């Protein structure tokens, strides 16, 4: 059994850990509110963008000559996966969930003998993936310096993806991120952005638009922007999810630390009592023998 | 019948502006300036660098944009843009900054014709502001 001194030290250390987790929870809660707000504010833009593209791609007359970003290269040999994770740890299963989702997708692709290329956004994802898929990672981006997710960063990633697409480096692009549902639930998502996948969303075009200039030109101008927008949306969702996940993880940690302190205190008191009793017995039996 | 319609400007971070008493909007569409009044036909177009003029009962407003998409449908005008500034809030130094940036872009030699054209447009518009 641990000595009284050891127990005391352990109680103190658990208590200070609890202080840290508690503080982190508070910080995450404050950041969460901001992240959630900006995620909600960002939604109209990406929704509108999606709508316009949907209308456009439905209205396009010549499907054969549609921009490649929309219709694809006609083959599915090389897959590019953009895995978006956080730069910081201590956020529960946030990163592992994305990685798990991504890994099962990777396995499927490799099973089908297709080529796989990975871009990681955020250092935690890179850390977890480089052990197994190190040779597949072609780029690693991290926005440690930016405080909040901003469009400028997303645009950088988007431009890079498009550049690689135009250079013919891949055929299909999928992004992985966590969709924010609420504080305790985040859903890892795999979203295909190239070629644009809007099947199942067939909306009946109730009226036709006038286009100026023509559809093709607008589409080819719009699609690259849409890539950046989708990535930005993923970044916003991700940052809200990260804070939410961290908050609930830290909440659990604080509670567990509290339980541990209680248990240790009981143990401490018991062994203190035991020591006193032992001493008393020794004194009494000593007196009796006289 | 009133001659007003609704305009909504969104940028990636937030909904930038919503107004529902607008009588006319002039947008710098890619093939020239375009004035939009109520009951305009549904249209989708994209923007080049220029000034958006919003005329409404509660006063006129001017915004500088660098790019974007406009969609007009059912008397709802949506403008999606990544770079937008209210001219009223924009001071001289900010203008100069933007102008310098645009000039630098326009003087690059390794860009394609379209980006060159857009950069030149930016310079031109910003110069007229000063």
Which residue numbers of A are catalytic?
A: 91
Domain spans in chain B, listed from the N-terminal domain onward: 5-86, 91-129
Q: Is residue A290 part of a domain?
A: no
Structure tokens at B116: 């060159």
Based on the fold, state whether residues A195 and A270 are members of the same structural domain. Answer: no
- B105-125: per-residue pLDDT in tens? 777 777 777 777 778 888 888
Cα of B43 to nearest chain A Cα, Å: 4
Q: What is the pLDDT of residue A28?
A: 93
Is A54 an 8 Å CB contact of chain B?
Answer: no
Answer whether A52 sits within 8 Å of B34, measured CB to CB. no
Q: Look up the pTM and report it.
A: 0.84
**Same domain? A62 vs A178:** yes
Tokens encoding B7: 């305009």
Please check whether residue A155 touches B, CB under 8 A.
Answer: yes
Query: Cα separation of B65 and A207, whole Å?
Result: 29
Contact residues, chain B, for A159 at CB < 8 Å:
none
Contact A209 B15 (CB under 8 A): no
User: In the structure encoding, which two tokens stand for residue A205, read together?
Assistant: 């075009």
Q: Are A191 and A175 in contact (CB under 8 A)?
A: yes
Q: Which residues of B touch A44 (CB under 8 A)?
A: 8, 10, 15
Looking at residue A24, its pLDDT comes to: 93
Chain A residues in contact with B29 by the CB 8 A cut-off are: 212
8 A C-beta contact, residue B95 and residue B81: no
The closest of A146, A148, A161, A180 to B14, measured between CA atoms, is A148
**Does the residue A256 lie in any domain?**
yes
From chain B, the residues in CB contact with A213 under 8 A are 30-31, 45
User: Whose CA is closest to A235, among A175, A187, A173?
Assistant: A175
Instruction: For residue A139, tell me if it sits in a domain.
Output: yes
Q: Which residue of B has its CA nearest to A49?
A: B80
Residue in B11, B42, B73 nearest the CB of A45 = B11
- Per-residue pLDDT tens digits of chain A, which is 290 residues long: 568 899 999 999 999 999 999 999 999 999 999 988 888 888 888 888 887 887 777 766 666 667 777 777 778 888 999 999 998 888 888 999 999 999 999 999 999 988 899 999 988 988 889 888 888 888 888 888 777 778 888 888 988 998 898 888 888 999 999 988 888 888 998 988 888 765 545 555 555 777 777 777 777 778 888 888 889 889 988 999 999 999 999 999 999 999 999 999 999 999 999 999 999 999 999 999 98
- Is A52 in CB contact (< 8 Å) with chain B? yes
In terms of C-beta density within 10 A (0-12 exposed, 13-18 middle, 19 or more buried), how is residue A157 classed?
buried
Helix locations, A60-73, DSSP H: 68-71
Residues A133 and A268 reside in one and the same domain: no
Give domain status of residue A164, yes or no: yes
What domain range is A266 assigned to?
4-10+250-284
Three-state SS letters, chain B = CCCCEEEEEECCCCEEEEEEEEEEEEEEECCEEEEECCCCCCEEEEECCEEEEEEECCCCEEEEECCEEEEEECCEEEEECCCEEEHHHCCHHHHHHHHHHHHHHHHCCCCCHHHHHHHHHHHHHHHHHC
pLDDT of residue A1: 58
Establish if A16 belongs to a structural domain: no
Integer CA distances (angstroms), A84 to A24, A171, A229, A248, in order: 22, 19, 14, 20
The confidence score (pLDDT) of residue A225 equals 84
- Check if A50 contacts B (Cβ < 8 Å): no
A223 and A157 in one domain?
Answer: yes
Contact B13 A38 (CB under 8 A): yes
Asked whether the beta carbons of residue B12 and residue A154 sit closer than 8 angstroms, the reply is: yes
Q: Return the residue in B8, B11, B12 with the most chain A beta carbons within 10 A, the one to mutate for interface testing.
A: B12
A268 — contact with chain B (CB < 8 Å)? no
Coil, strand, or helix at residue A228?
Answer: helix
Could you tell me the CA-to-CA distances from A62 to A59, A214, A222 in Å, in that order?
9, 12, 17
DSSP A208: P
What distance in Å separates residue A150's CA from the closest CA in chain B?
8
Q: Residue B44 is nearest to which of A46, A56, A229, comparing CB atoms?
A: A56
Distance between CA atoms of residues B86 and B52, nearest Å:
9
Looking at the complex, report in whole angstroms how far the Cα of residue B15 sits from the nearest Cα belonging to chain A.
6
- Please tell me whether residues A155 and A255 are part of one structural domain: no
- A45 in contact with B, Cβ within 8 Å: yes
Q: Contact, A244 vs A183, CB < 8 A?
A: yes
Q: B10, A55: Cβ pair inside 8 Å?
A: no
- If asked whether residues A173 and A119 sit together in one domain, one would say yes
How many domains does one find in chain A?
Answer: 2
Q: What angle do CA B73, B75, B77 make, to 5 degrees?
A: 65
A239 and A254 both lie in a single domain: no
Mean pLDDT of B76-97: 83
The reply to whether A120 and A235 lie within a common domain is yes
Same domain, A241 and A128: yes
- Residue A289 belongs to some domain of the structure: no
- Contact between B70 and B88 (Cβ < 8 Å): no
Q: What is the ipTM of this complex?
A: 0.76
Residue A54 lies in a domain: yes
Same domain, A145 and A64: yes
B5-86 classified as CATH 3.40.50.150: no
pLDDT in tens, B34-82: 899 988 888 888 888 888 999 988 888 889 888 888 888 888 898 988 8
DSSP character string of A257-273: HHHHHHHHHHHHHHHHH
Interchain proximity B13–A229, CB inside 8 Å: no
- Chain B CB within 8 Å of residue A44 CB: yes
If asked whether residues A201 and A149 sit together in one domain, one would say yes
Contacts of A42 in chain B (CB under 8 A): 12-14
Please indicate if any CB of chain B lies within 8 Å of the CB of A208: yes
What CATH number is associated with residue A205? 3.40.1380.10
Residue predicted with more confidence, B127 or B21: B21
**Quick check: B71 and A52 CB within 8 A?**
yes
Backbone angles phi, psi at B112, to 5 degrees: -80, 175
CA distance B107 to chain A (A): 21
- Please give the pLDDT value at position A64: 62
Same domain, A64 and A189: yes
């Amino acid at each position: 059994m641990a000595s009284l001194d050891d127990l005391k030290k352990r109680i103190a250390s658990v208590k200070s850990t609890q202080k840290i987790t508690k503080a982190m929870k508070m910080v995450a809660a404050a950041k969460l509110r901001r992240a959630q707000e900006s995620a909600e504010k960002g939604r109209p833009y990406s929704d509108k963008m999606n709508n316009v593209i949907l209308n456009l791609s439905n209205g396009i007359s010549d499907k054969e000559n549609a921009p490649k970003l929309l219709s694809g290269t006609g083959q599915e040999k090389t897959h590019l996966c953009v895995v978006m994770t956080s730069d910081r740890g201590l956020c529960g299963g946030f990163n592992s969930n994305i990685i798990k989702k991504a890994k099962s997708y990777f396995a499927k692709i490799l099973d089908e003998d297709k080529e796989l290329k990975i871009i990681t956004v955020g250092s935690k994802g890179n850390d977890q993936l480089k052990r197994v898929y190190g040779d597949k990672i072609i780029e690693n981006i991290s926005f440690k310096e930016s405080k909040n997710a901003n469009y400028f960063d997303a645009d950088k990633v988007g431009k890079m993806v498009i550049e690689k697409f135009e250079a013919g480096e891949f055929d299909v692009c999928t992004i992985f991120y966590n969709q924010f549902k609420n504080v305790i639930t985040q859903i890892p998502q795999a979203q295909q952005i190239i070629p644009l996948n809007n099947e199942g969303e067939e909306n009946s075009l109730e009226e036709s638009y006038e286009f100026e200039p023509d559809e093709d030109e607008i589409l080819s101008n719009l699609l690259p922007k849409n890539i950046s927008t989708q990535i930005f949306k993923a970044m916003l969702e991700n940052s809200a999810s990260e804070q939410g996940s961290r908050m609930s993880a830290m909440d659990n940690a604080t509670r567990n630390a509290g339980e541990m302190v209680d248990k240790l205190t009981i143990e401490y008191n018991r062994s203190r009592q035991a020591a006193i009793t032992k001493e008393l017995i020794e004194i009494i039996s000593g007196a009796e023998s006289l | 019948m009133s001659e007003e319609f609704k305009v909504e400007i969104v940028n990636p971070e937030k909904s930038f502006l919503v107004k529902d008493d607008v009588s006319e909007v002039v947008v710098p569409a890619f093939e020239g300036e375009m004035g939009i009044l109520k009951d305009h036909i549904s249209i989708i177009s994209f923007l080049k660098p220029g000034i958006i003029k919003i005329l409404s009962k509660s006063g006129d407003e001017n915004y500088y944009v660098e790019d974007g998409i406009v969609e007009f449908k059912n008397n709802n005008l949506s403008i999606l843009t990544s770079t937008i500034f209210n001219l009223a809030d924009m001071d001289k130094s900010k203008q100069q900054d933007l102008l310098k940036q645009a000039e630098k872009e326009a003087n690059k030699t390794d860009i394609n014709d379209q980006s060159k054209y857009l950069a030149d447009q930016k310079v031109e518009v910003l110069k007229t502001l000063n």
